A and B are shown apart, each in its own frame.
Chain A
């Protein structure tokens, strides 16, 4: 073992931890954000962080297939999806997410509780995992749960979709941190899923708005069968 590699390993670990911290921070920021435009930007930023961390893992561990995953992340989550979302909200001309079901401070408190739960739950997995990123599994899980929480508390369709995509980010992060990424086939499949999901949501938005003149999904309660 040459000192250079050891140094690189240690530095890599540090950098990944930094990325993980930023991911978590962004997760909370999204939870607190009410403006849709900022939400999309935060989502893009989260994608960029995810890309950086994947590249670092790929570089320090010499897992060449992770570069592919990183490339996918970059094209899909940093470029394609934010672009589509921007276009969508321009077309739909929605800027504000007026109200959430829970108010923001309460949501943040619940979020903190979730992070504690996530760390607690992730502990045995981290001990099993032999990767250099094992400390970040808890954070990845926390990201997933925070996005889930966001999906529950938002009442408009667009933020919900962003939350859904952010949850996928968290899952991806969890996968890279626990096992250096999933097999390529699975990743490709998920990327395709996200793409298709996006298209469907796009169609769906317009349909909802046509039906109810609003993107408020609470209107959907009306279509429940009595």
Chain B
């Protein structure tokens, strides 16, 4: 028996996922088997995939042709550095999510559990096929499987009309995206009619067609990633889905769209046009700013996280745009720095956003509440979830020594090299982007303080919160895995950066841009150590030492015994949980400052109202600017066609009959 190549093993892990899913259907009524055996096995499989893809990062590119699908159209698969990196992201993040799901679905007695097990694992397998695909056909098949399986996961509780609505919106935008991707592939394959990526790499038609293909890919992958203005499905679909699914969609699925954009833009089209980069910067900035401002004013914790995902996708897009600009001007070193920051942020976001979504899942599971206005003080009932969520919150806010800081710092560092871009206007424009990123990072911090403070700190706002229970053991394990990822990714940037090196070689053709040599393991420095360097470990030790010293000092010099008082009552004896600062109150300044962003409906009670009610609804203006007009146009159009629909079979038959006769007569003439 010949030895299996690495790509075969990767393929086998995807097939194991599929097999686990099918097993779930056959064991549909044995709930404990599904949650105790199948999901943990899936998690182990994820770990195996993560390890395999680490090997894939450092080994040679491998290709494989699978003789399935249509006759004459086999599936081409390829495992290269870019694929390996995203497979690592998929495996590492899904390991935590799957083990969490095992605990999350533990109590579920619903008959759809088997089906969910199938869809969940099919979702995972289709994502790894998306990453492996090396021709347009296989890619689209996997892409659509991914969209459909996630759609059915989102609409798991389809009896609620708002969930059906969210699912419909998701499916609609996913289809618009798929059509755009298909057209883009069609353009690139058009000259040869060959849909393999190898053939598309040779695509050399004029600048116009290359740009069209790129723009179509941007629309298509943007729809999946949640880039403005195709983001509206994200805040609807994420709260609708079960929490492990939201974590998977936000943490991993959005990254497959980023992968697609990188694959098409950098690998297939060899982007060298600087204004493509500027375009990416502009949409990225708009997306990030929009996302962070909206996430700051949300009152539903999952919607808050969904908007925060939009923000992070915006940051990633900004990084890609900057990479494109550097690359277009031949500054490959800076380009690979910016791309490193981008990919690093993808990985970080996969970890911290999954962690946060899973924490909200635990809170939702324990309290049945998503509304921030009805939570609070949960750190006492749910210490595990609260402390692990704190790590995710700090990472998401971009604080050192956690992972979010490293990638944002690298991104800002790469923006600091923009004065060397040999283009006057860009030179003036790019610092504005850097400043905006700083603003976005600050607002993200604000949002995360609000998220953590309102959910876990203070006093409970509702009576029933006292009954909340901490997450189950398996769920804790999942959270712990992701939190450990956040910490390790933050403490070992040099390892990650050197792992990313093969991807740089592949996409930019230039690696080793960062001073990440083994002998310099302590410091991460882009290009020159004199200019800027960062050592998370020293920073971490500093923080620990400071905390220790102050704690000891307090212990030593504090004059009386510590006493416990209700938190956040400002020393006022008649304060109740309802009188604390709320999420609305806390984000009021943001609502004021960024009011042009929102479409607001407000209703203030009069001072003499016996039963005062305060109402404030913040809506997405894109509904009114873009979606409702388009829906109106479509509706008017269908009204025109509607009179053909008489509902009588005879009339429908007559239509075909008339068509047939007309065609026959026409061909005769």
Contacts and interface: CB of A to CB of B under 8 A. Distances in A.
A217 B650 CA distance: 9
Given A117-B664, A117-B665, A124-B668, A149 B657 contact: yes
B561 interface: no
B647 A221 contact: yes
B653 A121 contact: no
A151 B653 contact: yes
Contacts of A151: 653
B594 to A, nearest CB: 42
A160 interface: yes
A136 B668 CA distance: 17
Given A218-B648, A223-B647, A121 B660 contact: no
Contacts of B653: 148, 151-152
B654 interface: yes
26 contacts: A101-B650, A117-B661, A117-B665, A120-B668, A121-B664, A121-B667, A121-B668, A145-B657, A145-B660, A148-B653, A148-B660, A151-B653, A152-B650, A152-B653, A152-B654, A152-B657, A155-B650, A160-B649, A217-B649, A218-B648, A220-B647, A221-B647, A221-B648, A222-B647, A224-B646, A224-B647
A153 interface: yes
B645 interface: yes
A171 to B, nearest CB: 12
Interface string A91-108: 000000000010000000
Interface string B625-669: 000000000000000000001111110011011001100110110
A96 B656 CA distance: 27
Interface string A192-226: 00000000000000000000000001101111100
Interface of A: 101, 117, 120-121, 123-124, 141, 145, 148-149, 151-153, 155, 160, 217-218, 220-224
Interface in B40-74: none
Interface residues of B, number: 16
Contacts of B664: 117, 121, 141
A123 B665 CA distance: 11
A148 B654 CA distance: 9
Nearest to B654: A152
Given A148-B657, A220-B647, A220-B649, 20 more contacts: A101-B650, A117-B661, A121-B664, A121-B665, A121-B668, A124-B668, A145-B660, A148-B653, A148-B656, A148-B660, A149-B657, A152-B650, A152-B653, A152-B654, A152-B657, A160-B649, A220-B648, A221-B646, A221-B648, A224-B646
Nearest to B661: A117
Nearest to A118: B664
A148 B661 CA distance: 11
A153 B650 contact: yes
A67 B653 CA distance: 34
A126 B43 CA distance: 67
A211 B656 CA distance: 27
Contacts of B660: 145, 148
Main secondary structure, interface of B, reads helix
B645 A224 contact: yes
Nearest to B657: A148
Contacts of A222: 647
Nearest to A152: B653
Give the interface centre of B650, B656, B660, B668 by most chain A CB atoms within 10 Å.
B650
Nearest to B652: A152
Contacts of B650: 101, 152-153, 155
Nearest to B655: A152
A124 B664 CA distance: 11
Nearest to A123: B668
Contacts of A218: 648
A120 B667 CA distance: 11
A161 to B, nearest CB: 12
Contacts of B668: 120-121, 123-124
Contacts of B654: 152
Interface string B534-573: 0000000000000000000000000000000000000000
Contacts of B649: 160, 217, 220
Nearest to B668: A121
Contacts of A148: 653, 656-657, 660
**Sorted from nearest, which 10 A-B pairs have the closest CB atoms?**
A224-B647, A221-B647, A121-B664, A152-B653, A121-B668, A152-B650, A217-B649, A148-B657, A221-B648, A151-B653
B298 to A, nearest CB: 36
A151 B651 CA distance: 11
Contacts of A117: 661, 664-665
A155 B653 CA distance: 12
B657 to A, nearest CB: 5
Contacts of A217: 649
A153 B660 CA distance: 17
Nearest to A222: B647
Contacts of A124: 668
B477 to A, nearest CB: 50
Contacts of B656: 148
Nearest to A141: B664
Nearest to A221: B647
A144 to B, nearest CB: 9
A37 to B, nearest CB: 23
Nearest to A155: B650
Interface string B369-405: 0000000000000000000000000000000000000
Interface in B498-548: none
B665 to A, nearest CB: 6
Nearest to B653: A152
A101 B649 CA distance: 12
A222 B649 CA distance: 12
A151 B231 CA distance: 49
A74 to B, nearest CB: 29
A154 to B, nearest CB: 8
Nearest to B648: A221
Contacts of A220: 647-649
A151 B665 CA distance: 21
B648 to A, nearest CB: 5
Contacts of B647: 220-224
Contacts of B665: 117, 121
Nearest to B664: A121
A208 B645 CA distance: 20
B638 to A, nearest CB: 11
A220 B653 CA distance: 14
A148 B653 CA distance: 8
Contacts of A160: 649
B172 to A, nearest CB: 19
Interface in B587-608: none
A222 B646 CA distance: 10
Contacts of A149: 657
B662 to A, nearest CB: 11
B299 to A, nearest CB: 37
Contacts of A123: 668
B199 to A, nearest CB: 31
A124 B656 CA distance: 23
Nearest to B666: A121
Contacts of A120: 668
